[in-house]
Amino acid sequence: MTEEKLSIIEALKTICEDLFSKRVISRVLAFTEGEIKEIPVVSLITNPEGLKGLKWDESCNKPLAKLLLGLKPKTAIIARPYDARAVVMYINENQLKRDDVFIIGVGKDASDFPVFDAFAKDPSPLQSAREPSPSRGSLDFFLAEIDRCILCYACRQACWGCYCPSCFMERGIPDWTPAGVGREAKIAFHLGRTMHLAGRCVECGGCKTACPSGVNLKYLIDSLTQMCYEEYGHKAGMEEGARDPLSDYRCDDGQPGFLE
């Protein structure tokens, strides 16, 4: 680990120790060293002793904010910009209370965070898993990607926006989806997931990284994200109190398409 990253870890420990000692927080959601050096463990640290194994390097790239859902207050999260965006999205969707979470942002510039309570500067911040998607896929491209999908749902599990206790794909009543794991079921899943993420993607790229088959259908969600921004000026998790286009319908809304 570089000197730079070690000094960030020290800065994070100092912030957390101070928060524990002042009883501002009761736990910290963070990455710690695991048994295998390259694989960090997601940990809920409940006392200053637990901060010893704190880890912060390129391997710490799993979604953390989703784990805040259901945790007791007050939990601190060591957050990259898109973790903070996810927290804001959860607050706006009434899944979290702002007072129940303490956001320790780590990044190049505090202005990259929609919200934070403490900040540690990282001159060379960890890269997100975000990668450019193809601009628009043809039907042939789409079907070729669909055919590579094995319907394992890892993309859904990795996604901040997919937190329903039971996904529409697994609900029997009403049964929205074709049975089996054929093309129809896969198309239903991917188009359904895309629509459910309208204006709700925090652009972390986790879904693409999580896919064991290298499926590249994120361009669908990217198209919808772009369309929501152009039509409604909305981006997920950028503003406390903002409502996403899915829950803010008006009769005079435009009827744009997002696929060509």
Chain contacts with ligand SF4 (rule: CB under 6 A): 149-155, 158-161, 197, 201-207, 210-211, 213, 215, 221
User: Cα-flanking dihedrals φ and ψ of residue 86, to 5°?
Assistant: -65, -40
Q: Which is nearer to ligand SF4, 104 or 197 (CB)?
A: 197
Give least dist CB 107 to ligand SF4, A.
17
* Angular region, 143: left φ>0, alpha ψ -120 to 50, beta rest: alpha
User: Cα-flanking dihedrals φ and ψ of residue 22, to 5°?
Assistant: -90, 5
Q: Which is nearer to ligand SF4, 120 or 210 (CB)?
A: 210
- Name all contacts of 59-64 with Cβ < 8 Å and 24+ positions apart: 59/31, 60/31, 60/126, 61/126, 61/128, 61/129, 61/206, 61/209, 62/31, 62/158, 62/206, 63/158, 63/159, 63/160, 63/204, 63/206, 64/29, 64/30, 64/31
Q: Which is nearer to ligand SF4, 104 or 210 (CB)?
A: 210
Q: Which is nearer to ligand SF4, 81 or 161 (CB)?
A: 161
Give least dist CB 67 to ligand SF4, A.
14
**Cβ contacts of 62 within 8 Å, gap of 6 or more:** 31, 40, 42, 158, 206
* Cβ pair 27, 73 in contact under 8 A: no
Q: Which is nearer to ligand SF4, 15 or 207 (CB)?
A: 207
Q: Which is nearer to ligand SF4, 118 or 228 (CB)?
A: 228
Give least dist CB 168 to ligand SF4, A.
14
Q: Which is nearer to ligand SF4, 205 or 245 (CB)?
A: 205
Q: Cis check for the bond before 74: say yes or no (omega within 30 of 0).
A: yes
Give least dist CB 119 to ligand SF4, A.
23
Give least dist CB 249 to ligand SF4, A.
22
Give least dist CB 49 to ligand SF4, A.
33
Rounded Cα–Cα distance for residues 89 and 82 (Å): 10
* Cβ pair 14, 35 in contact under 8 A: no
Q: Check residue 74 and report its DSSP letter.
A: P
Give least dist CB 35 to ligand SF4, A.
26
Rounded Cα–Cα distance for residues 136 and 114 (Å): 29
